[in-house]
Amino acid sequence: MDKKRILLANSDRLTQKSLYEMLCRNGYKVDIAGSVKEALSSLEENSYKVILTDINKIEGIELLKKVKEKAYPSRVIILTSYGNIEAAVDSIKMGAFDYLVRPVEDKKIISAIERALSSQIPTETKSTYVRNLQRKDKTYYGLVGNSHPMQDIYSILERISNSKATVLLRGESGTGKRLIAYALHKADRQRKDKPFVEMSCGALPREIIESELFGHAKGAFTGAINDRKGRFEIADGGTIILDDIDSLTLDLQVKLLRVLQHKEFERVGENKTIKVDVRIIAATNQDLEKSVEAKKFREDLYYRLNVISINIPPLRERKEDLPLLVEHFINMYSKENHKEIKSASQDTMFILMNYNWPGNIRELENIIERAVILDTDGIIAMEDLPEVIRNGNTYLTSGLGSKVIEAFSNLKHALQEPEKVHILRVLKEVDWNKKKAANKLGVNRTTLYNKLKKYNITSELDKK
């Protein structure tokens, strides 16, 4: 399969020509199909890693169904307009790799294609985790997501699940490191029915952490009125996740290194050596390599922890999973709050898909829980979302004063608003230099001025 070969399925001649030329300029070999029939004929004759299609101009959903039914090894990227976003969200649930809402910059199309080209599902493990994903709760041991970054993680978990290898989970706060650790524990045939123990190394003072990890003997310190087992002893035979591993002091790092090397330790205030069989999973949102260079983290411990390293992508890099996550959290919190919430509205999904999610899945979960509690009609609407989420999507400032433009204000102008928003973004980037903006938008200045007039776009300088 030629990795740079793409099938462009689009029946609109002008759009087809524009996309074809752009893709060729970026070094791709492009075949064109003007209908579903032509696309399927091309797929019978050639192999494509990526299919770029348009829901609005070609029967994109029908093509996606055929690709999935016949198990073609192709990633399908959907182009759509704002008015068709509900169909695009449905396409993600059906297995589309990604969807992009017009107007969209060329670099975003290229970025989506490159991600599709670089994604890989090892064939020897695919069937196993696909079977797991097809369980009743549609999750992989509690993990929700069908994106290719998540499929890659499932593949790794399958391959290491029954080994004793130490695992280092890396990722931003809120990306689900604890859930991935638990999924690995449940996938391990030997350990799944044994204890799963959690410990946050950054949540407690140093003297308490040592006792929490290794336990203590009666009288070891003031307040130690009884012998007490530590987390490692409790986790014997199972799994322990040490979150914020970078927070451990150097002396505790030495003690942890001993556990990793020899599977033994002593309780605080006791000389008796205790042997344990525990799988250790460490987690961090910090750059451990820099901590090693700064002598804040032991190099030998780093290498012991970094046997298997799994990078967990932030939510903004796996937004194709967002519809599934939203559905999952709506179902979960509807049951918890004894409510019947059917889904999120189309406008709500558009806002959620275009938010940057600095707090990742944890932030999404909290927002959906809040929305479920506040909802009154069974559909999560924009009004059920926090103001910071709505403002982050529906308002743009000019950068030259207090001028605020509200987008997506009513259905009548919904299809025009993405173009208006795109023009505003470009104007802001070039500090409202209209000549530069026109060049960047690929239109002449007359066209730009007409659009500014059409959308009533003015800067504070224009008003003076």
Of 332, 363, 392, the domain-final residue: 392
In this structure, is residue 179 part of a structural domain? yes
Contact (Cβ atoms closer than 8 angstroms) between residue 22 and residue 52: no
Residues 6+ apart with CB under 8 A from 170: 283, 284, 285, 309, 310, 311, 312
Contact (Cβ atoms closer than 8 angstroms) between residue 260 and residue 280: yes
Q: What pLDDT, in 10s, does the model give residues 383-403?
A: 889 887 876 543 333 332 233
Q: Give CA separation, 460 vs 48, 397, 399, 432, in Å.
A: 50, 11, 9, 10
pLDDT at 360 over 50: yes
Q: Give CA separation, 164 vs 4, 60, 189, 307, in Å.
A: 39, 45, 12, 10
Q: What pLDDT, in 10s, does the model give residues 151-175?
A: 889 888 988 988 888 999 999 999 9
Q: Which pLDDT does position 36 carry in this prediction?
A: 87
Please state, in angstroms and rounded to a whole number, the distance separating the CA atoms of residues 112 and 92.
14
Residue type, 70: K
Range list of H helices, 395-433: 417-429
CATH of residue 359: 1.10.8.60
Q: Are residues 303 and 320 in the same domain?
A: no
Of 311, 339, 354, the domain-final residue: 311
Q: At what angle do helices 445-454 and 434-441 cross, to 10 degrees?
A: 100
SS3 288: helix
In this structure, is residue 138 part of a structural domain? no
SS3 284: strand
Q: How many domains does the chain divide into?
A: 4
Contact (Cβ atoms closer than 8 angstroms) between residue 163 and residue 218: no
Q: What pLDDT, in 10s, does the model give residues 29-48?
A: 999 988 888 888 888 888 88
Burial (CB count <10 Å: 0-12, 13-18, 19+), residue 146? buried
Which residue shows structure tokens 């960047």?
440
In this structure, is residue 225 part of a structural domain? yes
What is the residue range of 360's domain?
316-392
Q: Are residues 244 and 336 in the same domain?
A: no
Q: Are residues 233 and 256 in the same domain?
A: yes
Q: What is the mean pLDDT of residues 361-387?
A: 91
Q: What pLDDT, in 10s, does the model give residues 396-427?
A: 333 322 333 333 334 334 444 556 767 877 78
Residues 6+ apart with CB under 8 A from 95: 64, 68, 76, 146
Give the rounded distance of the alpha carbon of 275 from its chain centre: 39
Q: Which pLDDT does position 405 carry in this prediction?
A: 32
pLDDT at 308 over 80: yes
Give the global pTM. Answer: 0.61
Strands, E, within 234-307: which ranges? 239-243, 264-266, 273-275, 279-284
pLDDT interval class at 237 (50, 70, 90): very high
CB atoms within 10 A of CB 103: 14
Q: Which pLDDT does position 267 carry in this prediction?
A: 92
pLDDT interval class at 103 (50, 70, 90): confident
Q: Are residues 19 and 80 in the same domain?
A: yes
Q: Are residues 166 and 303 in the same domain?
A: yes
Q: What is the DSSP letter of 140?
A: B
Range list of H helices, 70-205: 85-94, 106-118, 123-133, 148-160, 177-187
Q: What is the mean pLDDT of residues 337-355?
A: 87
